[in-house]
Structure formats: structure tokens, C-alpha cells
Chain A
């Protein structure tokens, strides 16, 4: 098969239930140049190297073909969130956001959520009573992280439905779908993103006068030595935290539940030894990572990757899920082993952009899957396997997971 169409085949919806054979093909090819001039990398060593290379940019302006829609949006006053910026701007904004979220200044915020998360998980699971069939996405894996991130940020629960509609449009705009005009889709995505950011900006502003103990209040409150956000920065950061704070966790929990049902011996082991769950979550992040690839990188100068020169400004696509199953790095990479050792997976990326919300995602997945295993028996199974998947090849996971238990 030609590498020319490899990325197309990976992003083709038909590949969603099992992209792994295509990832194996990608690893065989080394650095794969695509017909549109982008470069695909899926071997562990090379992906890690690129994630740590200071000459690799995450800024859309570094692309040779800068997206005009982006320039229009910026002319209109929108600023990119830190996920799309390079140091030192990235470091500054991420640092301000980290201050109230995690160590060293706020080591307790995630810990303090644990009881809350456990209670929300239990309430959702109690809803399974009297039903033979449940949809693990709609009834559990989706509402759990949405409720958690909503409470963490301090969003009124009645507004979450509108936020979900915006999120869906933003996520859809990230897709590689040959059937749609990408410019139109991106414009729609940016409009939804803007409305969401405006909403969050207004909400945060209202916390200035009436602070509570939520994250938005902290972000508009006490500035650290790095200074405070400008209002536009606050809006884009809050939108990023909201979207990234649940879109990925939904898939982590759903992929996790599906994997455990497919591996009953592992599920049985975890029921007997819940202490193994943190290690099992790491293995899920390796084996079925919710973020399959990073589509937004480009070199600031010509660089050499595994003997191939990638020119400055070329789109560089790092396929984390392929790297996670590189046999040169992980013994028996296609085996799900909840007790795997030396599991330096790329499920959260690596380097300066490594997942901001990783500590929260870990806690949510651990609590959710532990509670789920305690509720559904060894004979629980998907009604359909594979289940129907969401469209996105980037944020991959089942759209529904009907389970008979």
C-alpha cells in the first residue's frame, strides 16, 4: 500500500474501531510524507524526541500555510489558549492556570475532589438499577467528567447543556473529514468557541465581586508573581480547561470499560485487587489513549527525523497511539496488561505540553472504573462489539456503549 493515502485511511471513519493495524503500517514506514505535504510520525523514539525538541512549534502561525480563518479570528480579538502557543508565552499562561490547579501552590485541589467524584459516580451507577441495558457513555462516562469539570470551574449546572452543544461543534471542527469544506467547519468551530469563551469570561468576571472556592474565582483572583491573565487570555484558557477537561476523560472511561469487558481476566483481577487500578489506568492510557494523535505541530527550521528532512513549516502529525504500541519500546505492545511495568506511555503526551489535566483524569478514571467494576458483573458485555464510534480520529472513543449487565 502506498503511504500517500495512509493518513486518509487512518482518518477514514471505517478505521475507527481498530486503527492499530494502520498504526503498525505507519511504524514500518518511519516518517511518512503525505500527499498534502504533512509528515506523520508514529515510532516511540521519534515521537518522544519531537515532543521534547524546542525547535518544534505548537503555534499555528508557524505553519507554512497559516489558516486564514485563524488570522481573521485573531484580528477580531481572540487569543489562542496555551495549547497552541510556544514558550515563553505558553509557559506564562500555563503557569498562571497551574497556580490554583496543582502543586506547588495548590497541591490539594484534586485530592479534595475525590469524595465528590466518588459520590457522583455512585449516583450515576445507582441509576442503572432496574435496567437490563445501559449506555455507558450517556449514562455514566459522559455525565461524570462533565459534572466534575463544571463544579471545578464553578459553572451553574443548568448551563451545561448549552456548553455541550458548543463543545460538540468545536470538537467537530478539529476533524479530518474529506466530505466537508474544512474552512466552513473551522469557522463554525471558532464561532462556537468564541461564544463559549464569552460566556465563561462573563461568568469569571461575575466572580470578581462574588468569589467562591471554584477555579474561575481563583483565576480572576489573587495573581501570582507571573501576573494575572488579561481578560481575553482568561476566556480562551477557561474554554480550553472546560473542553479538554471532559472530552478526553469521557473516552478514557469508555475505552476503559470496553477494554475491561473484552478482558474478563483483567477485570476479575482488578475486582480482587483494586490497588492495581492506578497501574491499570496507566495501561489504558497506553493501550487505548483518548488522544490518538497531535495534529498541530510544525518545525521552526528544517529538522531531521529518522533520516528524513522535515522542512520548516510543514505540518507534523505525531501519532501518540502508534508510539504507544511500538514493539521497540513496549514488550508485547498489543497485549493489555494492567500490571505492566516501566509504562512510560504517551497517553498524556510528553514535554512542555504534556496534559495539564492529567492528575484529574487519573483520579476520575480510577474512581469511575473501580465503581463500575463493583456494579457490573463478570457477565456484563457490550450489546454490539465494536460499538458505534464518535467521528473524531483525534479524540477517539465509542459514541455509545450499550451494555447488558
Chain B
């Protein structure tokens, strides 16, 4: 008779939850925990002294002066009734005694731990050059406030190092402000690391049309200073750029160092977890108490060959946090997988760029609607004959159609017949970066095993 007893909705033995990381994922997880009925003790630990805020505006409206850096607070969906430990770093985890160690010496006991420490901006690799006045990165509200103040002061030229999404958005804001800007990109085109060759070529044309001094296929070899101030940069092609500001946009570093010695599968590519956000330990054994969500997580996705994905997407942080929170307090059979199709957007140079799926998980791409000449289009990406991603430029409302194709593994290329496309679209190679190499700006990084991409030996002539 006892076998008939229904499973409790939430696991009552979970009384103490610690969330490390008080940004988007941490906040939404806390809200979801309370939504699920969890009424135990909840602690949020955050390195920044500020309450959670929204990052997407920092490289857009904030740089244009349309919003203040410190105004972009995240709306709270509900009261979370939590203890906030802000302005203090987590220094480690003692998994045996189930305690989080704080930099101030405190120890926080937990029944469940959520790791949501996200990423930080990758700094310029040469410390003396990084320390020059005028060398900046953009990740936090404080960074944005600092950069805005510099832009307000009217620099003669801004150097943007790296043309991923952040770098391109900064360049766009500079041009909108009428500032001279030079963008240096190691790859063949802007955004190529995230979107591949076709849209990369389009992005290069757009940037140049907007007056960006775009240098592709080169790197910055040195930042030059005079009396402690940045004055310019030397490039790998031997040229020199005079600039009084350099914004280093070389992607993000995952905040995992504090987990050294914790025995968790944490490293430069993030904290590995299963489809239910449970962290793996260093032996590949899934843990029961430690969960991961947001930019710092690395998780297998069935739609993309169970590749381990690391995403720096707003929507992923929210969705993954909700799944993690649910699973933290749910009995085993009630747990849910995190299956959300990745999606992100960017605004730059008057373009609204929106992506669904994983464009880098592709071998071919086709312009299914519109065209680069019109400045609006939908590019659809395929991998081994099925649709895996779509990117819209000024055509976002169509994406739901392609999202469904991705979810149902529809055949690639998609059937012709769209109203705004005359003639048969022709698929071309997608020219995405090799998944084994992490790009400097992993808007998405595939970090698993890619069985059909063999290593080929390239001999120098």
C-alpha cells in the first residue's frame, strides 16, 4: 500500500541552498526556488557589491548615453527572501562537509549548491600594457560607466581589439557618437567566430560602410604608452594605430578558479554538468548536491549531438537557472532536462541580429530569405543535412519558423518558396571555426567530441 503513495512535489530534506554568483542566473534561480515552494534558507553570494543588473544594455544603450550604467537593474519577479552576501568572493568548496568558503573566512553550509559565477572579461595578456591608462575591458556596470566617461571626453580614436559581438557593438556605439574607431580582428571578418563566413563578410561590409577602420587577419602585438597613458598599438602586419582608448574584447574567462581543489570537473571551459544541471566531479561522476547554471556551465545538448555547449546567452542563463532550481529541490524522477534551443541577439550599426540554434554547429549555410544587398535576411545553417541554426538580420519575426525546424531536425536546406526570396537559394560552406579551437569570443563554444571532423596535417610549403 505504501508503494501507492504519491511522490512529494519538493524534497523536504533540502533546507539550505547557497547560490554563488549574484547575477542574472543566480537571481532567476533564487526566484524559481521560491516559486517551487522551497521555504528553507537561501543565501546568494556575489563578488560585485551591486544587486543583480542587466548586462546587454551595457554595450548598447549605455554606451550611447541613453541609459546610465548603474540603472540597468534586473526587475525582480518576486521577493526571494534571501540572505545577500555581496562584495565578497567565494574562495572554495568543501564538498565533503558541504560548505562554501568565502574570502572573508566565513563558511556557508549547504544542502544544495548552485554555481552561477559566470565569466569575466579576458584581460589584455601583457600586464604592464594592460595597466596603461586608457586600456579597458567591458563586462560590468562599472566597466561601462568608465568607458562612457572616456567616450564622453571625446577621444580622437578608439581601438577595439576583437570583433566579436561586444567589440562590434562598441565600434557601432563609437561611430554613432561620431568617434573614429579602428577594429582589429584576428579572424577573416567580424563575428565570424559566432556566425561563420557568409554573415562575417556581410558584417565587414557594414562596418566599413559605417566608417569603421576595420583590419582583419591581423593581431595587436603591443600596446604602446607614454607616461603611463595609452598612445597607440603596433599590429602584426607592421602597421601602427594611434589611439587614446583601447577596449580589449577578447572574449570571456570562466570564473572557475575558486573551484580548484574542490574535486569538481571545473576548468577554463567551465563546469561540466549533465542535462539536469548537476555538476560532474573530476572523475566524471555526477554529483547530487552541486548544480551549475549560466555562462559558467558546460552541458550536453541532444539537438547538437550531445556536444558539450558553453553559452554566453541571456536566455540560456534564465532557462538553465530555472531548470537547476527545479532540480535542486525535486525528487529524482521529477527532475527536468535543460533542452532550450540557444538564442541570442545583438544590435549594431542599425542592424538587429538575432540567432536561434548553434550556427557554429554547421557545415553549410543558405540565405533563405532576403539578401545581404537588401541589408535584411535570414541565414539558415545546416549540419549533415539538417537545420541546426538560423540567424536573422532585421528579420527577427521569422525566426520562430526556423526554431521549429531546429527542434524537429528538419532537413537542410529548407524548402524554397519564401515570399521575400526570388529564385532557388544555394547553400554554401558555412566556414565556421574549427570546434576544437576556442575562439576569442565564444558566444557559443562546442567543447565536446566532434566525431566527423578529423585532424588533418597541414604542411607548410
Contacts and interface: CB of A to CB of B under 8 A. Distances in A.
A53 interface: yes
A220 B436 CA distance: 55
Interface string A74-102: 00000000000011100100000000000
A130 interface: no
Contact of B370 (A59, A88, A354): A88
A162 to B, nearest CB: 36
B400 A55 contact: no
Interface residues of A, number: 22
A55 B418 CA distance: 4
B397 A354 contact: yes
Given A87-B369, A88-B370, A91-B376, A352 B418 contact: no
A344 to B, nearest CB: 11
B418 A88 contact: no
Contacts of B401: 49, 52-54
B417 interface: yes
A378 interface: no
Interface in A37-93: 48-49, 52-57, 59, 86-88, 91
Given A87-B369, A88-B376, A91-B376, A54 B400 contact: no
B178 interface: no
A161 interface: no
Nearest to A351: B397
A48, A57, A86, A87 — which one has the most chain B CB atoms within 10 A of its CB? A87
Contacts of A86: 419-420
Interface in B357-407: 368-370, 374, 376, 378, 395, 397-398, 400-401, 404
A127 to B, nearest CB: 39
B268 interface: no
A54 B398 contact: yes
Given A55-B418, A301-B416, A88 B374 contact: yes
Given A54-B369, A88-B370, A300 B398 contact: no
A178 interface: no
B368, B378, B397, B415 — which one has the most chain A CB atoms within 10 A of its CB? B397
B408 to A, nearest CB: 10
B397 A352 contact: yes
A225 interface: yes
A49, A52, A300 — which one has the most chain B CB atoms within 10 A of its CB? A52
Nearest to B369: A54
A49 B415 contact: no
Contacts of A56: 419
Nearest to B416: A301
Interface in B409-449: 415-421
A70 to B, nearest CB: 18
Contacts, number: 56
Interface in A180-205: none
Nearest to A45: B404
B350 interface: yes
A56 B397 CA distance: 14
B416 A48 contact: no
Q: For the side of the interface on B, what is the size category?
A: 20 to 34
A187 B397 CA distance: 34
A52 B398 CA distance: 6
Contacts of B370: 87-88
B420 A55 contact: no
B419 A54 contact: yes
Contacts of A88: 370, 374, 376, 420
Contact of B418 (A54, A350, A354): A54
Contacts of B374: 88
A56 B415 CA distance: 13
A55 B376 contact: no
Contacts of B416: 301
A91 B393 CA distance: 13
A350 B404 CA distance: 15
Nearest to A87: B420
Given A88-B370, A301-B415, A352-B397, A225 B420 contact: no
A48 to B, nearest CB: 7
Contacts of B421: 54
Nearest to B404: A49
A140 B368 CA distance: 48
B404 A55 contact: no
Contact of A52 (B376, B400, B415): B400
B419 A55 contact: yes
Contacts of B395: 87, 91
A56 B400 CA distance: 14
Nearest to A55: B417
A208 B91 CA distance: 67
Contacts of A54: 368-369, 378, 398, 401, 417-421
Nearest to B417: A301
A101 B368 CA distance: 30
Contacts of A87: 369-370, 395, 419-420
B402 to A, nearest CB: 9
Contacts of A53: 401
A352 B400 CA distance: 11
Nearest to B378: A54
Contact of B398 (A57, A352, A354): A352
Nearest to A88: B420
Nearest to B368: A54
Interface string A109-143: 00000000000000000000000000000000000
B209 to A, nearest CB: 13
A299 B415 CA distance: 13
Interface string A334-363: 000000000000000011101000000000
B417 A351 contact: no
B400 A351 contact: yes
Contacts of A352: 397-398
14 contacts: A49-B401, A52-B404, A54-B369, A54-B421, A56-B419, A86-B419, A87-B370, A88-B370, A91-B376, A299-B417, A301-B417, A303-B417, A351-B397, A352-B397
Task: Pick the 3 closest A-B CB pairs, nearest first.
Answer: A301-B417, A54-B418, A86-B419
Interface of A: 48-49, 52-57, 59, 86-88, 91, 225, 299-301, 303, 350-352, 354
